[in-house]
């Protein structure tokens, strides 16, 4: 996903808002600061035009589909600018333009005054075009698309040319990233005032294409209050902000000791990948507490890992009294041995990461609460933890992550497209990096190790989760660039962590 940021206020470009919050910023700018709404619309139209000629310079014939609201008004402004620049522009309106109101009506009037025509939907014949602009619905949709808009979206999606969406692809929920029955699959999206969180999770990345952001020169005071409750887009610069340079006068004891608990007989690989990822992420020492069946050989290819054979929880308890960071779940299994070890970890007074089998076992413990742990479920595990269906989790990933965080007192990583990181306070971030090649066995075990490595270096649970999710996704993208997505293995993600740390200058 490519991002372009225009305008003066960089602090807005990493904030994530709901549609209601963005409307609040608009209202504060117009009603509170006296910026005319039509002035903002003209700035939006200019941003659309600028992005279109930058990304699609060869497109001479434009089709602009306009809806009845301000999204349609933005389309009329962009159409006027394109016609002024010599483009052949066809504007199609979903409603009789005489029904337009406010700023949208003024944008239409200016288009007509400039000599532009409007045809009404449905189009009698196909319009030859090199670029289509989706100015249909905007961010306000909260129910399934129906009627003629459904057919208009289908029409756009079947065009043999790229589509540029205005503010958000029509039919995509701005808050959840879910497709509301139908949605425009855009090559690019130009969005304004604030980034909409639904663009970065669930279906959002598949439908938005490249994302360009323009703040429309809205002054910071318009968003000051609302921004306190905004989420954060976890961009690459997050790592440098969270991780501090190491002192030259230091030793391994300064960087923590991870005790990774897992690896039932036959599943030694998961806990070993977790431990190696922790070492690659800066942990000073890593001990694997694992099944005796493979304890003597699990570290042959990675001798930096220490190994402790554990027959039962009693073997583990002496280790739990030390100053460790704990990670429980990779390859843990679901046997009595697994349950014993997880219970011992839950009772230990140490920061804890729970993943994989540990999460499935955790369901039987009810609403366990701690203030020093991180849970890393994928949607199916999250559904089990919340006692709902996977579809409920995916329907609003941010809300689901926040609900888990509140229920368990944990920082939560809800994995998937646009992984969500949530804190018990309700604070959240979404990671825009990562790729489908990372949907492979062991990728989650690597993430657990990276999170644990961050905890070992003193980051808080929420900061460790944010840093690790970003680093893990970034490493996955670097691996995919080198190897392709289909060939990607979990170990390839670990191998690229060193590049991530170098690129982020930590």
Q: Are strands 118-120 and 88-93 parallel, antiparallel or unpaired?
A: parallel
**Neighbouring residues of 260: CB distance < 8 A, sequence distance ≥ 6:** 271, 274, 275, 278, 286, 287, 288, 289, 326, 327, 328, 330, 448, 449, 452
Per CATH, the architecture of 237-243+252-503 is what? Answer: 3-Layer(aba) Sandwich (3.40)
Domain range annotation of the chain: 3-233, 237-243+252-503
3-state secondary structure string, 41-92?
HHHHHHHHHHHHHHHCCCCCEEEEEECCCHHHHHHHHHHHHHHHCCCEEEEE
Confidence at residue 359, expressed as pLDDT on a 0 to 100 scale? 97
Confidence at residue 3, expressed as pLDDT on a 0 to 100 scale? 53
CA 3 to chain CA centroid, nearest Å: 13
Tokens (6 digits) for 369: 């609460």
Find out if CATH 1.10.1040.10 is the number for domain 3-233.
no
Same fold, 3-233 and 237-243+252-503: no
Q: Which of 434, 438, 430 is nearest to 402 (CA)?
A: 430
Tokens (6 digits) for 417: 């497209």
CA distances from 140 to 25, 175, 326, 392, 398 (A): 15, 10, 44, 21, 18
Confidence at residue 322, expressed as pLDDT on a 0 to 100 scale? 78
Confidence at residue 41, expressed as pLDDT on a 0 to 100 scale? 98
- Output phi, psi for 176, to 5 deg: -110, -20
Confidence at residue 64, expressed as pLDDT on a 0 to 100 scale? 98
The tally of CA atoms less than 13 A away on the side-chain side of residue 117 is 4
**Torsional sign, CA 350, 353, 358, 360:** positive
Confidence at residue 235, expressed as pLDDT on a 0 to 100 scale? 93
The number of residues making up the chain comes to 506
Q: Each residue's pLDDT tens digit in the chain (506 positions)?
A: 445 544 433 344 799 999 999 999 999 999 999 999 999 999 999 999 999 999 999 999 999 999 999 999 999 999 999 999 999 999 999 999 999 999 999 999 999 999 999 999 999 888 999 999 999 998 988 899 999 999 999 999 999 999 999 999 999 999 999 999 999 999 999 999 999 999 999 999 999 999 999 999 999 999 999 999 999 999 999 999 999 889 999 999 999 999 999 999 999 999 999 999 999 999 999 999 999 999 999 999 999 999 999 999 999 998 898 789 999 999 999 999 999 999 999 999 999 999 999 999 999 887 899 999 999 999 999 999 999 999 999 999 999 999 999 999 999 999 999 999 999 999 999 999 999 999 999 999 999 999 999 999 999 999 999 999 999 999 999 999 999 999 999 999 999 999 999 999 88
Residue given tokens 């532009």 in the structure block: 116
């Amino acid at each position: 996903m490519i991002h372009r940021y225009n305008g003066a206020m960089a602090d807005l470009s990493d904030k994530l808002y709901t549609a209601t919050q963005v409307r609040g910023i608009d209202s504060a700018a117009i009603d509170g600061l006296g910026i005319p709404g039509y002035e903002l619309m003209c700035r939006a139209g200019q941003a659309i035009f600028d992005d279109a000629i930058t990304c699609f310079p060869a497109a001479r014939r434009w089709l602009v589909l306009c809806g009845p609201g301000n999204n349609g008004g933005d389309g009329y402004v962009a159409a006027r600018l394109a016609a002024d620049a010599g483009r052949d522009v066809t504007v199609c309106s979903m409603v009789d333009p005489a029904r337009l109101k406010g700023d949208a009506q003024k944008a239409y009037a200016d288009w007509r005054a400039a000599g532009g025509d409007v045809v009404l939907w449905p189009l009698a014949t196909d319009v030859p075009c090199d670029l289509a602009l989706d100015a249909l619905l905007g961010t306000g949709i909260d129910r399934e698309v129906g009627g003629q808009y459904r057919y208009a979206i289908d029409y756009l999606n079947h065009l043999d040319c790229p589509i540029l969406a205005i503010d958000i692809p029509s039919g995509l929920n701005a808050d959840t990233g879910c497709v509301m029955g139908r949605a425009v699959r855009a090559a690019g999206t130009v969005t304004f005032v604030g980034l909409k969180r639904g663009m970065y999770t669930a279906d959002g990345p598949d439908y938005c294409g490249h994302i360009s952001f323009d703040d429309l020169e809205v002054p910071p005071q318009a968003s000051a209050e609302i921004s306190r409750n905004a989420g954060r887009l976890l961009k690459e610069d997050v790592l440098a902000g969270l991780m501090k340079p190491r002192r030259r006068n230091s030793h391994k004891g300064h960087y923590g000791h991870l005790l990774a608990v897992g690896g039932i007989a036959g599943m030694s690989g998961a806990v070993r990948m977790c431990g190696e990822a922790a070492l690659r992420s800066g942990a000073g020492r890593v001990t694997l507490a694992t099944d005796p069946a493979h304890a003597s050989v699990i570290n042959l290819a990675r001798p930096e890992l220490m190994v402790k054979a554990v027959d039962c929880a009693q073997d583990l308890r002496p280790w739990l009294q030390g100053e460790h960071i704990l990670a429980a779940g990779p390859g843990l299994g679901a046997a009595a041995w697994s349950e014993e070890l997880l219970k011992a970890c839950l009772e230990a007074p140490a920061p804890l990461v729970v993943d994989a089998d540990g999460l499935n076992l955790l369901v039987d413990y009810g609403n366990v609460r701690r203030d020093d742990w991180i849970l890393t479920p994928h949607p199916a595990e999250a559904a089990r933890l919340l006692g709902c269906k996977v579809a409920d989790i995916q329907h609003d990933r941010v809300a689901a992550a926040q609900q888990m965080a509140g229920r368990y007192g944990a920082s939560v990583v809800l994995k998937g497209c646009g992984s969500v990181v949530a804190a018990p306070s309700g604070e959240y971030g979404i990671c825009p990096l990562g790729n489908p090649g990372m949907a492979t066995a062991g990728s989650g075990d690597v993430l657990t190790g990276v999170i644990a490595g961050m905890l070992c270096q003193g980051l808080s649970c929420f900061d460790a989760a944010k840093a690790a999710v970003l680093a893990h996704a970034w490493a996955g993208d670097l691996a995919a660039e080198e190897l392709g997505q289909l060939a990607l293995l979990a170990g390839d993600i670990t191998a690229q962590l060193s590049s991530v740390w170098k690129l982020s200058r930590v």
